Structure 1
C-alpha cells in the first residue's frame, strides 16, 4: 500500500507557492500558518497588510473545502468581518462564483482549488475599493 497524502501539508505548500504574489507584489507580510482547531482536519494561512487580511484554508472533514476570506483592517488596526472570495468576486464583476469553487473531492481538486482561488484573488484585488463593504 502507498502512503496516504498529508492533505493539510500539501495545501500549505501549494498555497504558499500560489499566493506568493501577495508578498512579492501586493505588500502583504509572509503568511502565518495555523492548524485548525483541535478535532478538525485541515490548515489555514493568513496574509496581512495594513488595510487587509486574507485568510485561506483547507477543511478536510465530512465535506472537504478550500476557502478564502478577506477582512478589512481599519486604520486603528481593528479587523472587520469581511466576506468570502466568491461573494466579493461576483460583487466586483470579476465573473461567476463557479470560478472560485470550494468543494474538494481528492488531492487533485484540492491543488486545483488553491490555484483557482489564487487566480480569483489576483483578479479581485485591483477592483477592491479602499474599504470594501462587509457582509
Structure 2
C-alpha cells in the first residue's frame, strides 16, 4: 500500500518554492511556518517585510482551501486589517477573482492553488501603494 500524502507538509514545501520570489526579489524575510490545529488541520507560511505581512494558509478537512492574506504593518508595529488576495487582486484591476481560487479537492488541486496564488500575488505587489493601506 502506498504512503498517504501529508498535505500540510506538501503545502509548505510547494509554497516555499512558489513564493520564493518574495524573498529573492521583494525584500521579505524567510517565512515562518506554523501548523494549524484548531478544529481542523493545516499549515501556514508567513512572510514579513517592512510595512507588510503576507500569510499563505492551507486549511485541510472536508472543505479544504488555500487562502492568502496581506496585512499592513504600521511603523510602530500596529497591524492593520487583513485583506484577502482575491479581493485586492480584483480591486486594483489585476483580473477577476476566479484567477485566485481557494477550494481544494485533492493534492493536485492544492498544489495548483498554491501556484495560482503566487502568480496572482506577483502581479498584485507592483500595483500596491508604498503604504498599503495606511493602518
TM-score normalised by length of structure 2: 0.95
1:30/1:47 contact within 8 Å kept: yes
Give distance in 2, aligned partners of 1:10 and 1:22. Answer: 19
Residues 22-37 of structure 1 mapped to structure 2, 5 A cutoff = 22-37=22-37
Give distance in 1, aligned partners of 2:47 and 2:78. Answer: 15
Residues 32-47 of structure 1 mapped to structure 2, 5 A cutoff = 32-47=32-47
Q: 4+ runs of 1 displaced by more than 3 Å?
A: none
Aligned length: 134
Q: Which residue of 2 aligns with 1:104?
A: 104
The DSSP-based 3-state class of the residue aligned with 1:28 is coil
1:67-89 per-residue CA deviation (whole Å, 9 max, x = no partner) reads: 00000010111111120000000
Is residue 2:57 matched to residue 1:94?
no
Give distance in 1, aligned partners of 2:103 and 2:37. Answer: 20
Deviation at 1:38? 4.0
Is residue 2:61 matched to residue 1:61?
yes
Give distance in 1, aligned partners of 2:81 and 2:89. Answer: 16
Q: Which residue of 2 aligns with 1:7?
A: 7
Q: Which residue of 2 aligns with 1:51?
A: 51
1:32-81 per-residue CA deviation (whole Å, 9 max, x = no partner) reads: 00001344210000000011000001001220000000000101111111
Unaligned runs of 5+ in 1: none
Unaligned runs of 5+ in 2: none
Q: Which residue of 2 aligns with 1:73?
A: 73
Give distance in 1, aligned partners of 2:79 and 2:103. Answer: 27
